[in-house]
Chains A and B, each alone.
Chain A
Amino acid sequence: GDSVTQMEGPVTLSEEAFLTINCTYTATGYPSLFWYVQYPGEGLQLLLKATKADDKGSNKGFEATYRKETTSFHLEKGSVQVSDSAVYFCALSDLGSGGSNYKLTFGKGTLLTVNP
């Protein structure tokens, strides 16, 4: 079945540091890939997405590139801010066998804390 594996947290960085959160996936079809962010006490919000190989999703300084050869979708940001402190989720949506699977599969989430 489909699965998403992302790096264990928590991740603690100083402001302006470089961020990488690794994400790899297993899928039976040709999935769409997503990064979601969850701020304290809130629901998940879409951060960025990519729908085909070599696509780069970007938003708010965050980037992730869909790498089919390595089945990866790592999240990066060149200079994090205190306001980026949140939980980040990698997710995939796969049509699966017969095109009947429309659910989103999430990783376990990575807690990021950015200190001033």
Chain B
Amino acid sequence: DAGVIQSPRHEVTEMGQEVTLRCKPISGHDYLFWYRQTMMRGLELLIYFNNNVPIDDSGMPEDRFSAKMPNASFSTLKIQPSEPRDSAVYFCASRPGQGTEAFFGQGTRLTVV
């Protein structure tokens, strides 16, 4: 398996624009997570899915953020409108079940100018 695949690897956008980050989890993994990493806050869990259903979105910072998982092999994280404070590295991770380790993608470095 190729692992968790995220795209794009880098994104530079202007404030106010819509940004969509994409993730393909490892096949057969039931859980998918979106994390955000910044120097100030470290690694923050934004939302996670189980069998394509959002379970906990309490980490989503505000209504500008939304995430979907239309099927078992694809998820998106959308920011609309984007703001400079959204600049961070966004990671997607998947895991096969409870108590197991999560496998991380390479991340998307988002810069909002």
Contact = CB atoms under 8 A, between A and B. Distances in A.
A43 B48 CA distance: 17
Q: Chain A: interface secondary structure?
A: strand
A43 B91 contact: yes
Question: Which of B93, B95, B101, B105 has most chain A Cβ within 10 Å?
Answer: B101
A14 to B, nearest CB: 26
Interface string B93-110: 101001111111111000
Interface residues of B, number: 23
B33 A103 contact: yes
Interface residues of A, number: 22
Closest 8 CB pairs of A and B: A43-B104, A108-B42, A44-B104, A46-B101, A32-B99, A106-B43, A43-B106, A102-B98
Interface of A: 32, 34, 36, 42-46, 49, 51, 89, 93, 95, 99, 102-109
Interface of B: 4, 31, 33, 42-43, 45, 48, 50, 55-56, 91, 93, 95, 98-107
